Amino acid sequence: MSARTDLLLSIADDELILGWRDSEWTGIAPFLEEDVALSSIAQNEIGHARALYELAAAELGTSADELAFDRRPAQYRCAPLVQLRRLEWARTIARRWLYETADEIRLEELKGSDDGELAGIAAKMNREEAYHRLHAEMWVDRLLASEEGRRRFFEAVDELWPYALGVLDEGLRSELRRRVEERLGRELPAAEAIERGRHEPELVELWDEMTMVRRSAPAGARW
């Protein structure tokens, strides 16, 4: 597999699995606006995954659906950050915000790629992700505005920080640290990244649920 396909699948898997995790709030988010917001974000992340899978599929001679649903859990390349099961709200926001901050760094890098297809898709994704970032930033402001919100948000960021580092290649991690520390006005603990390639047991459970319908009709189903 080429380095390009490997990269496409890593980002696609991040977006698919995070989209799935976000969708777990549908119907039970703290209030209606957030229910709509997280459902919409989830839909869009999964749309990004589909587009990235299509590029990878063209190279591998397969289809986006096969890449999304027919691999074994161990073959997914998503960062452990997105695998974690639905977290309580402060941690959900911390994960979204850390992911979007990392993803922006990654997309900025890709937009400058010599590969026109990659640069084009990154530019498109980046415009759409701007709304996800606005949403996350709005929540960071809101949490930082109260003592309890601050405490719970900082706890969540510290806990998820090693996972957040694992979203990016090593060369981009210092930039992530710089942005996160600047925004929060505090230093982050020294941490070892939890790397892509590790599979949390929660991913297997998610995979089981996500692929259940497809596995139940191996010859394909018509609705």
Partner 1 sequence: MSERDESVAQSHEVTERAVWRALGEVPDPEIPVVSLVDLGVVKAVEIEGDRVRVDFAPTFMGCPALEVMQRMLAEKVEELGVEAEVRVLLDDSWSTDDITPEGREKLRTAGFAPPAPRPSGTLELVQLQRGFRCPYCGSTDTRLENLFGPTPCRSIRYCESCRQPFEQFKTI
Interface with partner 1 (CB under 8 A): 33, 36-37, 39-41, 43-48, 50-51, 54-55, 117, 120-121, 123-125, 127-128, 130-131, 134-135, 137-138
Nearer to partner 1, 21 or 50 (CB): 50
Tokens at residue 118, please? 């990659």
Nearer to partner 1, 35 or 70 (CB): 35
Q: How many CB atoms lie within 10 A of CB 53?
A: 25
Nearer to partner 1, 131 or 186 (CB): 131
CA separation for the pair 194, 83 (Å, rounded): 12
Q: How many residues does the chain have?
A: 223
- Of the candidates 33, 149, 10, 32, the one whose C-alpha atom is nearest the C-alpha of residue 89 is 149
Q: Are the CB atoms for 164 and 171 separated by under 8 Å?
A: no
Q: Are the CB atoms for 53 and 64 separated by under 8 Å?
A: yes
Nearer to partner 1, 136 or 206 (CB): 136
Q: How far is the CB of 209 from partner 1 (least distance, A)?
A: 20
Q: Are the CB atoms for 13 and 49 separated by under 8 Å?
A: yes
